[in-house]
Homo-oligomer: A and B are copies of this chain.
Amino acid sequence: MSGDPEHPDRPERTAVAALADDFVAGLRDWLTIPSIGADPAHHGDVARSARWLADTLRADGWPDVRVWDSGPALPAVYACWPAADPDAPTVLVYGHHDVQPVDPVELWRHPPFEPALVGEELFGRGASDDKGQVAMHLLGVKAHLAATGASAPAVTIKLFVEGEEESGSPHITKLLDEHRDELACDLVVFSDTPLYSRDAPTVCTGQRGVYGAEVVFTGGGSDVHSGRAGGSVPNPATALARLVAALHDDEGRVRLRDFYADVVEPTERERADYAALPFDEAVWLANSGGAQVLAGEAGWSTLERVWVRPTAEVNGIFGGYTGPGLKTIVPASASVKLSFRLVPDQDPERIADALREFVAAHTPDGVRSEVIAAGDGAPPYAVDVSHPAVGAVRDALEAAFDQPVRYSRTGGSGPAALLHGWLGVPVVYLGATLPDDRIHAPNERVVVPLLLRGAEAAARLWRLLPERLR
């Protein structure tokens, strides 16, 4: 774990290697704090996690460190280390220190908050998502300073580590509004996405957005015995199934009106990069809950389906009697939870309108429908791959990983579009974790050497950016 030997032409690597043991020790300490944001019983731990980070930053020499804990957002940490050159660009690093719940805890081989280092893997809740990548940046700044021999970074580095990402960042816009001046920057480096794989490091260039809603169909006011009325009145569960069945055509395309109207297709370069990535169908299926076959929209590869194509999924469906055996009723109501993954430039509000229209058109006579939005949704985001900062990240990663780095995206969602919208600057992604780190699941882990590579890439990026953003 002590890293590679000295590399005279790679001063960041030498610095990272020297700091590696301390880095692991610090991350392990942080991972003992169960900062589960979704559980009010752990909100004190979220605050403790924020203080741990702030104390560590101060010990690292960051000149300006603050804990934003005035509520209602769970405590976030802000820090700033100004560049020596007042004209140097300002970069805002985004991450989060809240973690997912740990249930089912009995499936963990090591207790989730007793981090265990097994070979190259560090196990623990938050190791990959996202404390590991935040710690990676702390190491990156130290390595950058060591590599350059300077007492201040080559760019002004700001750190914004929120405490509510796993809850959907419900108060992030309030923080962005209240701290507009502190957060002002020229670029956001978003560190909450993975590499494509260990053998194929990539620079992520976008995340899908999401819009979710529950559709409730109600027939009568109460269940009715199907011997009495079955066949003579509408069955809302049947009607709901017909709505869900109509949601996709036989090519797997979503049938909401104008669903694809705003979709921006990936560039040829991006598609070529995706096609060049190693793709193991068996591994993909195994990592997809043990699915049996690939499926999806006709005309697109699996990676394209997940990264650059929008989707509609049933997340849950419920209605009537679901206990053991038979209960012959016509249910009073049935509901389905739907979520739509969105790509640039789809707008969650337009999708919400199209869904309401679709539901109205598929509500049969005698059934009342209701569409209950699960919040406002998250807009999709993708950065223009010709932006020089994207090239800088790619070059930094290629140097750190000693191999070509291709483009990728991620099918999940996050606040990148929000940061872009509020701060008015591009968002680039720098991540060094893996898709199979089991985030949100038992036995989350991070591969430590990848975090060290990521720290090296970050350290190099701070050196590259002043020239690239000139």
Contact = CB atoms under 8 A, between A and B. Distances in A.
B311 A226 contact: yes
Contacts of A368: 292
A230 B306 contact: yes
A297 interface: yes
A299 interface: no
Contacts of A336: 237, 241
Nearest to A439: B225
A235 B338 CA distance: 12
A319 B337 CA distance: 10
A135 B311 CA distance: 62
Interface string A288-323: 111111111100001001100111011111111110
Contacts of A41: none
A274 B311 CA distance: 50
Nearest to A210: B328
Contacts of A180: none
Interface stretch (A13-21, A155-163, A215-223, A446-454): A215-223
A245 interface: yes
A332 B289 contact: yes
Given A237-B317, A316-B321, A311 B220 contact: no
B223 A289 contact: yes
A228 B316 contact: no
B224 A288 contact: yes
A27 interface: no
A246 B241 CA distance: 9
Contacts of A227: 208, 210, 341, 410-413
Interface in A370-427: 374-375, 410-413
A318 B318 contact: yes
B289 A233 contact: yes
A365 B293 contact: yes
Interface in A232-283: 232-235, 237-238, 240-248
A229 interface: yes
Nearest to A244: B241
Q: Which of A226, A328, A341 has the most CB of B within 10 A?
A: A226
A365 B228 contact: no
A138 to B, nearest CB: 27
A52 interface: no
Contact of A289 (B224, B317, B318): B224
- Give the number of times this chain occurs in the complex, counting copies: 2
B231 A314 contact: no
Interface residues of A, number: 87
Given A295-B234, A313-B230, A221 B318 contact: no
B306 A232 contact: yes
A331 B225 CA distance: 29
Nearest to A213: B326
B212 A326 contact: yes
A287 interface: yes
A287 B319 CA distance: 20
A201 to B, nearest CB: 19
Contacts of A294: 232-233, 366
Contact of A292 (B219, B284, B305): B219
A434 interface: no
A330 B411 CA distance: 13
A314 to B, nearest CB: 4
A180 B266 CA distance: 77
A208 B228 CA distance: 10
Contacts of A302: 232
B241 A341 contact: no
Contacts of A440: 225
28 contacts: A210-B227, A219-B292, A224-B289, A225-B412, A226-B315, A228-B287, A228-B306, A230-B411, A232-B284, A233-B285, A233-B293, A237-B244, A237-B317, A237-B336, A238-B248, A240-B241, A241-B243, A242-B244, A244-B245, A288-B330, A293-B366, A313-B328, A314-B331, A316-B322, A322-B337, A326-B337, A326-B375, A327-B337
Q: Which 5 A-B pairs have the closest CB atoms?
A: A227-B412, A220-B289, A224-B289, A293-B366, A241-B244
Interface of A: 208, 210, 212, 219-235, 237-238, 240-248, 284-285, 287-297, 302, 305-306, 309-311, 313-322, 325-332, 334-337, 339, 341, 364-368, 374-375, 410-413, 435, 440
